[in-house]
Each structure stands twice: as structure tokens, then as C-alpha cells.
């Protein structure tokens, strides 16, 4: 068995072993699921095990996921949460009333929507700024002096790849915390902490778990002694947004195959993006792996591959885009991303006019199917528009 305490192991090897070793008591190569919420004390009122008191505080499977993720991110510490949004909320609540948050515009609608409500409720100034122009984004930071800066790299659904290093430098000059939601990259494609971010977070519901059967979130820090990390640690410990044992087990099992899944998903996505970019019924494709994408150079610098997520504009309007989605037979019409099965989503149906999402935009999350089957599915769905 691989010695997973060796930091030099590659991410694929760490992941294959779930970041753990053999259970010394039984030799089991897979960790057990403990369902107990509480743990007995002895007659002298000492805990039987110092690490086990009450499962809202902490428990074994989340701890194993956290230590694996901290190693993959090159970070100091991690915390798992009950969903990606619980992780986002824990991080953003670190800004006090009267503070300022600069958030990238055009990111996951759930995050934007929660941020708008939270900031209005808590008396926090919220500035939403386009991060595709690094100089202008940094200028906004200097003008507004935020306490926290939130990027989503690559962004969902535009696949903008913000340039993390110069933004980190500007944010740090202003004593702001830089947070990167790297859900669409995973630590296998990009490590934001190495580029200067203070915190990296993921909706582990997506590619980290990869099987569309678990909600989870995870945050990792560069400095475990920082004030913001102390706040997030306490928030997770005290406010109860923890991951249950069954979900943690499934997430750990999903993580074991992350590197294989990402290889296939990224290769498939590249092939699909190239096919769509050459298709007469497609107006534009947004995928960082395409040379024509506005963020291609930033993606080449920061990411090892283009990822599994893309969006495209179908020629025509909402009716044409929805008809294409409706004709797909292999690719499922469903929200979410990062699973082994490919999904398509008409984002305007979800977001309406709140964010300026075009009515002809389809977002595709590419899975591990055979690339030729995916291309055939899309080709026949688009064929009536190409005539």
C-alpha cells in the first residue's frame, strides 16, 4: 500500500487511497461509517477518545476528507460543509456589518443571489465587478477598499478565468482576503493558494464527488492562524452546517476516482467544444481550452486543462436553444455540473433577467461518456438549425 503520509505522492495516488491508510485495528482499506452522534465518557468522566465527543463538532470521515483536500490544495487546513452554499456562506459571513465585499460579476447565480440578500440584510457594501479585465478589476479594488474579494475561476456559466496572482497582490496590498471558488477546476487543474489566494472553496457536490448523489462543500486555507480561518473554523464548529457520515463516505469514495474522471471529462469537453465551435448553428462557445476564448491565455497560465464545463450560444433565441436541449437524448436536461453524466441547462430559465444571461445560452457539463456519442447527440440536436 502507498505511504500516503509522503507529501511527494502525486494527487492521483493520494486520491486513489482516499488520503488514508489501512485501519490499524482491522486492516480495512476503506474507512468505516460511524453513525454515532455522541461518544461515551468513562467513570472518571474522561472521553473514551479525545477526538470523539459529539458529531456536530467533528467526525472521522470529514476529518479524512479535510486532510486529503488540504494536501491536494497545498493548503494548511480544510473544513467540509453540508453543501457548497454552506461553505460560501461561512466564508462570506466573515465580513462584519459595515464592511465591503467585491465579488466577481457573472458567477454562479446562487452565490450572487445569496450575497445580494446577505449584504442588504447585514449592512455590507457589495460591489459586483467584471474580472475579465484584470487592470479594471484591481482599480475597483483600490477604489472601494474591500475586506474580502470573491472570484470564481473558471466562472459559471461564462468560463471567465480571472488572473488570480495580480488580483491577490492588489487585494493583499489593501489587507483584503482573497477567496477563489474553484469548483469548475478542482485542485487537479488549478491550485489557487499557490497563486496567492487566501482561501479556496468548492461545491464538492460537483466534480469532487462526481456522481450527482451528494451535496457538500469544502474550504481550504493558506494560513491556519489567520483571523478569517479562525472565524470559518468556529462557524463550521458552532453553526451546524456539517456533513453527515453517509454523505462523507460517498464523497470520499467519489474522490478516489477524481483524477481518472477529470482526465476523461476534460478530454471529452475539449472535443465537444471544438465540434461546437465549428458548427454552423452555434454563435459562440465559451470554453477555456479553446484558443479563441477570451480567457484562453489566463487558463494556460493557471490551469493544466480546460475543464469539464462550457457554455454556448445557439443561433436564434430562447425557442431555438430550448429546442436543441429538448432534442438531446444522451445528455440530460438538468441543473448542476461535474457528474459522470453529461448535463445541459438553459440558464435563463433559472436566472430570468436578473443577471443578463442570454436567452440562447446553453451550459454543458461534460461527463465520462464516449466522446463520439456526445458529439453525435449534439450534432443531431443541432441539425435542424443548420439546414
Annotated catalytic residues are 56, 108, 181, 206
Whole-angstrom distance, CA of residue 384 vs CA of residue 220: 47
Kindly state whether residue 85 participates in binding ligand PLP, applying the rule CB under 6 A: yes
Give the SS3 label for residue 195: helix
Q: Are 247 and 239 in contact (CB under 8 A)?
A: no
Give the range of 83-91, 191-199, 272-280, 326-334 binding ligand PLP by CB under 6 A: 83-91
Task: Return the residue of 110, 166, 316, 358 that touches ligand PLP, per CB under 6 A.
Answer: 110
Give the SS3 label for residue 81: strand
**Secondary structure element (H or E) that encloses residue 228, with its range:** helix 227-239
Give the single-character DSSP code of 98: T
Three-point CA angle 130, 131, 132, nearest 5°:
100
Give the range of 53-61, 104-112, 250-258, 341-349 binding ligand PLP by CB under 6 A: 104-112
By beta-carbon proximity to ligand PLP, the closer residue of 85 and 221 is 85
Kindly state whether residue 11 participates in binding ligand PLP, applying the rule CB under 6 A: no
Bridge pairing between strands 177-181 and 309-314: unpaired
Give the range of 80-88, 271-279, 311-319, 375-383 binding ligand PLP by CB under 6 A: 80-88
Contact positions with ligand PLP (CB under 6 A) in 187-206: 203, 205
By beta-carbon proximity to ligand PLP, the closer residue of 153 and 321 is 153
CB of 157 to ligand PLP, least distance (A): 9
Q: How many Cβ atoms sit within 10 Å of the Cβ of residue 309?
A: 27
* Cell triple for 90: 461561512
Q: Which residue has the cell 456562506?
A: 89
Q: Which residues fall within 8 angstroms of residue 154, CB to CB, at 6 or more apart? A: 160, 161, 184, 185, 288, 295, 299, 303, 307, 309
Kindly state whether residue 108 participates in binding ligand PLP, applying the rule CB under 6 A: yes
Contact positions with ligand PLP (CB under 6 A) in 111-170: 111, 152, 156
User: What's the CA dihedral at 344, 349, 354, 359 to 10 degrees?
Assistant: 80
Task: Return the residue of 183, 209, 220, 360 that touches ligand PLP, per CB under 6 A.
Answer: 183
* Cell triple for 71: 494536501
Give the range of 5-13, 105-113, 229-237, 316-324 binding ligand PLP by CB under 6 A: 105-113
Which residues contact ligand PLP by CB under 6 A? 83-85, 88, 108, 110-111, 152, 156, 181, 183, 203, 205, 215, 217, 336
Amino acid at each position: 500500500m502507498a505511504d500516503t503520509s509522503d507529501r511527494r505522492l502525486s494527487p492521483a495516488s493520494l486520491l486513489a487511497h482516499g488520503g488514508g491508510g489501512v485501519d490499524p485495528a482491522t486492516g480495512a482499506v476503506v474507512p468505516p461509517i460511524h453513525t454515532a452522534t455522541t461518544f461515551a465518557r468513562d467513570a472518571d468522566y474522561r472521553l473514551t477518545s479525545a477526538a470523539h465527543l459529539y458529531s456536530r463538532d467533528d467526525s472521522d470521515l470529514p476529518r479524512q476528507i479535510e486532510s486529503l483536500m488540504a494536501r491536494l490544495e497545498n493548503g494548511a487546513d480544510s473544513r467540509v460543509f453540508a453543501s457548497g452554499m454552506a461553505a460560501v456562506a461561512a466564508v462570506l459571513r466573515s465580513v462584519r456589518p459595515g464592511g465591503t465585499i467585491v465579488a466577481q460579476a457573472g458567477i454562479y447565480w446562487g452565490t450572487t443571489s445569496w450575497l445580494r440578500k446577505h449584504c442588504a440584510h447585514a449592512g455590507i457594501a457589495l460591489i459586483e465587478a467584471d474580472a475579465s479585465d484584470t487592470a479594471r478589476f484591481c482599480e475597483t479594488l483600490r477604489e472601494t477598499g474591500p475586506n474580502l474579494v470573491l472570484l470564481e475561476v473558471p466562472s459559471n456559466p461564462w468560463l471567465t478565468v480571472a488572473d488570480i496572482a495580480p488580483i491577490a497582490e492588489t487585494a493583499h496590498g489593501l489587507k483584503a482576503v482573497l477567496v477563489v471558488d474553484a469548483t469548475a477546476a478542482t485542485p487537479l487543474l488549478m491550485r489557487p493558494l499557490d497563486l496567492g489566494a487566501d482561501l479556496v472553496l468548492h461545491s464538492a457536490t460537483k466534480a469532487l464527488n462526481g456522481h450527482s448523489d451528494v451535496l457538500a462543500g469544502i474550504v481550504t486555507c493558506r494560513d491556519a492562524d489567520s483571523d478569517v480561518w479562525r472565524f470559518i473554523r468556529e462557524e463550521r464548529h458552532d453553526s451546524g452546517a456539517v456533513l453527515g457520515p453517509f454523505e462523507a463516505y460517498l464523497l470520499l469514495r467519489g474522490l478516489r476516482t477524481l483524477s481518472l474522471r477529470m482526465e476523461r471529462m476534460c478530454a471529452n469537453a475539449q472535443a465537444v467544444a471544438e465540434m461546437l465551435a465549428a458548427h454552423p448553428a452555434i454563435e459562440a462557445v465559451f470554453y477555456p481550452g479553446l484558443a479563441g476564448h477570451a480567457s484562453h491565455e489566463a487558463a494556460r497560465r493557471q490551469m493544466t486543462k480546460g475543464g469539464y464545463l462550457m457554455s454556448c450560444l445557439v443561433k436564434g433565441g430562447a425557442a431555438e436553444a430550448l429546442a436543441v436541449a429538448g432534442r438531446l437524448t444522451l445528455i440530460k436536461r438538468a441543473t448542476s455540473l461535474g457528474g459522470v453524466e453529461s448535463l445541459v441547462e438553459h440558464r435563463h430559465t433559472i436566472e430570468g433577467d436578473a443577471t443578463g444571461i442570454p436567452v440562447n445560452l446553453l451550459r454543458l457539463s461534460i461527463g465520462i461518456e464516449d466522446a463520439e456519442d456526445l458529439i453525435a447527440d449534439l450534432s443531431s440536436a443541432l441539425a435542424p438549425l443548420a439546414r
